[in-house]
Chain A
């Protein structure tokens, strides 16, 4: 979230799209209720299902799954054509005036430089700004240059007419226009909409671009950086945010630093490529300090063994030959027999990954599998024959599986990061059952055994293993407190003020924040964005002052938010260019007080930069502005374009009906043999989508008695029209099949899913909750992801769980 849960109370309008907070994040949804009750806010829900969020909305609009870019692209067109944009905001804080290189173009659904063979854009050189002789990007403040971002944006979305959008999305045109009109009202300075989205946007082959498209709407309206505004990703699990911040992803390092590629053999070039100089005068371009963050990380990991001579142990980091070994790639390699060992730490991939048959076959080809979990999981028992629910040949599966019991939240100290980026400390209340251990204890145990093995018998490249800095009081089980102090960071030598020579931080002391990090090896910090979470004053994450002196819900004394305890990102944009809030009464967040930036939140800005200096609020980009034009950062193009799900119920992209290359995401990766497993509408006519229920959490709560009582049995949701067409009555058992397999479940026949008219035909949706499997206290069932396709988003590789095709018949 750019903002946070309690800040939703400051919204004037709430758009829930690609999520269902009332059911998936119930206690966070209370802030929507609060905004409605005390701020006269209105709620709009756009979703294929009339869900519980929709049931309390002021306006609900149905939409076909996977078509959100068409809806939002149409909205962008509507805002531009009706002049409903926040002019001063977009001119000063976004890239609309910047000029794009000559040669950039878009034709028949594809941007320039497309290579159909490689399914991508190997040459993105024109997807960038025109740079002037002074090294700065060229701009046209009048927005009239034909290649300025404003003109390109306008031309790109002019194709998204209400008629065409309605025909793609199946949203009735009058309803769609009502939504657009309501949204457009928040273009008035000081009127604010928030967007709340979740996996309903991420889990598509164009998921990242859906989210970008939402962010573009918010920028046009001037809603980013505002209290009650922002782009608010409602993360699905309690510490997904924290584990992402810590970089537990194939290509990342902690704090959104990135691993080097093979081609980056030179350390200085690696840093230079990630530390951009400002692209416009007087801009901060905060990533220019990349080396400070990187060196401090390497000092935290490798201690005295990371030195200036060995480039801070640069060669000890693995290098990537491809963009990343994401889970789809790894399970495809496993399926091909290229992976021998696999670890699952609190994760149940056979339930959570698409195409269970492929995942199961892949796991069967492992030599060893290690599962660490507090609970039984289907993954640990993928080899067990559970009849129709898991019909495998146990004796033929030669994988050795270790199942290690771990503690749960109640049995350990530590911090979790909620969606609002709050790091909240928690304390152990009791002992774990039996012999269960913490994950830290297990990882330390494995590390020490490997270290001993490499010391005693040698082996391949032991340097980073033997050189790892492991200076904990109990090496076999480092404490949560020691680890937290390590990621927050400390001084290794006395840090002095370069001007006065005065000692600012003494050697060994905790740092106050990332502003104190150095690139010379004198600081160690395991996650720069979390620097300041444990200072000399102690554990900031354990703070419990819930005072809210401005009555805006910012509670700066409660826990600690990254970065620098800022509660709302880009909050400089909540003030006009002259430094005063757009709305000084209800939306005051930060302002220039004559000598510095101050406010009700920690300013996300250079504190002493006066408004006259013209520094823009988006301090992380080299140009200082937010981007409508994503330059070369996205796989499928700088502007979001609607592409159909890989399994589309209409078989063509109405925007480009004659170009099969532009039907589905042209830059999404598809593995060998998976293309053949996509189904067609002729055989599988219904648009299916998967989701959670309020009463269950993933595959955990079917092991909890109360939850198993409240939702005991697997079901699917079918609209009344489809049910009557198929002769299915409520309570009948049905078989739902895709081209990859089938599940059987009880049919819930509902008014909440209605047929939509799309591209001249009728499209029915089938809703499939996620939570069942072949072990638990609830009635055993099928794994829903038996049905889903093995293809991911073009950038993140997040699987397309939200849009695929099925057939339904009486079981």
Chain B
């Protein structure tokens, strides 16, 4: 700072006035100042993501809290538009602006469950039990109904009695691995939301 002697005294005078007020007991107690909450987003981790709703593909920044340590789960606390993104330029629509409520919806599923025939309730089940039972049902159905040859004796190798409906918002990688498995099983009753 560049200042001459006269200005120096002026500044000091203001400073003196302020500290005199404090001495008269008119300043907030020091403990109060220390308790002011820090701006939350200043201490978050930023992760680039894409809105999962419509097909504009708006860029998102997800802000999460947590130490970043290996044993610490990051908690997503805020979602906003990515201002670098050439399509949405930081904006989000009313759906995208509410995305945090999708991530933290009380209706998120957290546990594999089964509803047995005729029952009116869900019963929790372990992942291993669920996948074992499903694989058993699939294999029994495939072995019973797989068609190796049609009536003309042509090789057709298809399985029609189980079908698979793929998603509309799952990643390319989920879609690719799903297709790889479904076709290896010989399924043809296979579609995704693009059909409707």
Listed residue (B53, B99, B162, B189) with the most chain A CB atoms within 10 angstroms of its CB: B189
Interface residues of A in 398-430 (CB under 8 A from B): 398-406, 408-420, 422-424, 426-430
Once A404-B130, A405-B108 are accepted as A-B contacts, the answer to whether A480 and B173 lie under 8 Å apart by CB is: yes
Selected contact of B91 from candidates A30, A342, A486, A694, CB within 8 Å: A30
Closest residue of chain A to B164 (Cβ to Cβ) is A343
* Distance to closest chain B CB from A487 (angstroms): 5
- Residues of B close to A506: CB separation below 8 A: none
CB-defined interface of A422-446 with B at 8 Å, one 1/0 digit per residue?
A: 1110111111011111111011111
* Distance to closest chain B CB from A82 (angstroms): 36
Listed residue (A318, A453, A467, A487) with the most chain B CB atoms within 10 angstroms of its CB: A318
Listed residue (B111, B175, B188, B193) with the most chain A CB atoms within 10 angstroms of its CB: B175
Q: Is there a chain A Cβ closer than 8 Å to B19's Cβ?
A: no
CB-defined interface of A355-387 with B at 8 Å, one 1/0 digit per residue?
A: 000000000000110100111100001011100
- Residues of A close to B181: CB separation below 8 A: 443, 446-447, 468
* Distance to closest chain A CB from B137 (angstroms): 5
Q: Is there a chain B Cβ closer than 8 Å to A736's Cβ?
A: no
Selected contact of A409 from candidates B50, B134, B137, B188, CB within 8 Å: B50
Selected contact of A701 from candidates B62, B98, B194, B196, CB within 8 Å: B98
Interface residues of B in 174-193 (CB under 8 A from A): 174-181, 183-193
- A262 to B56 Cα, complex, angstroms: 39
Once A249-B191, A340-B145, A417-B172 are accepted as A-B contacts, the answer to whether A400 and B91 lie under 8 Å apart by CB is: no
Is the Cβ of B111 less than 8 Å from the Cβ of A416? no
- A412 to B171 Cα, complex, angstroms: 9
Once A254-B179, A342-B165, A694-B94 are accepted as A-B contacts, the answer to whether A238 and B86 lie under 8 Å apart by CB is: no
Is the Cβ of A239 less than 8 Å from the Cβ of B195? no
Is the Cβ of B173 less than 8 Å from the Cβ of A414? yes
Selected contact of B49 from candidates A426, A459, A697, CB within 8 Å: A426
- Residues of A close to B119: CB separation below 8 A: 394
Is the Cβ of B186 less than 8 Å from the Cβ of A400? no
Q: Is there a chain B Cβ closer than 8 Å to A676's Cβ?
A: no
Q: Is there a chain B Cβ closer than 8 Å to A148's Cβ?
A: no
Listed residue (B176, B178, B192) with the most chain A CB atoms within 10 angstroms of its CB: B176
Selected contact of B54 from candidates A24, A338, A429, A777, CB within 8 Å: A24
Is the Cβ of B96 less than 8 Å from the Cβ of A27? yes
Closest residue of chain B to A344 (Cβ to Cβ) is B165
Closest residue of chain A to B188 (Cβ to Cβ) is A325
Q: Which bucket holds chain B's interface residue count?
A: 35 or more
- Residues of B close to A341: CB separation below 8 A: 137-138, 141, 161-163
CB-defined interface of A785-800 with B at 8 Å, one 1/0 digit per residue?
A: 0000000000011110
- Residues of B close to A254: CB separation below 8 A: 176, 179
Interface residues of A in 293-344 (CB under 8 A from B): 301, 315-321, 324-327, 329-330, 333-334, 338-344
Q: Is there a chain B Cβ closer than 8 Å to A454's Cβ?
A: yes
- Residues of A close to B54: CB separation below 8 A: 24-25, 28, 234-238, 697
- A290 to B195 Cα, complex, angstroms: 24
Selected contact of B48 from candidates A326, A404, A426, A798, CB within 8 Å: A426
Closest residue of chain A to B95 (Cβ to Cβ) is A697
Q: Is there a chain B Cβ closer than 8 Å to A700's Cβ?
A: yes
- A440 to B114 Cα, complex, angstroms: 21
- Residues of B close to A444: CB separation below 8 A: 177
- Residues of A close to B120: CB separation below 8 A: 383-385, 394-395
- A546 to B133 Cα, complex, angstroms: 49
Is the Cβ of A241 less than 8 Å from the Cβ of B193? no
- A384 to B119 Cα, complex, angstroms: 9
Interface residues of A in 484-507 (CB under 8 A from B): 484, 486-487
* Distance to closest chain A CB from B19 (angstroms): 46
- A370 to B184 Cα, complex, angstroms: 19
Q: Is there a chain B Cβ closer than 8 Å to A775's Cβ?
A: yes
Q: Is there a chain B Cβ closer than 8 Å to A696's Cβ?
A: yes
Is the Cβ of A249 less than 8 Å from the Cβ of B190? yes
- Residues of A close to B94: CB separation below 8 A: 26, 694-695, 707, 710
- Residues of B close to A628: CB separation below 8 A: none
Q: Is there a chain A Cβ closer than 8 Å to B17's Cβ?
A: no
Q: Is there a chain B Cβ closer than 8 Å to A731's Cβ?
A: no
Selected contact of B86 from candidates A383, A385, A419, A553, CB within 8 Å: A553
10 example contacts (A-B, Cβ-Cβ < 8 A) are as follows A242-B171, A242-B172, A248-B192, A341-B141, A419-B56, A429-B45, A429-B49, A430-B76, A431-B74, A777-B107
Q: Sorted from nearest, which 7 A-B pairs have the closest CB atoms? A: A434-B110, A418-B57, A414-B171, A346-B167, A405-B109, A449-B135, A237-B168
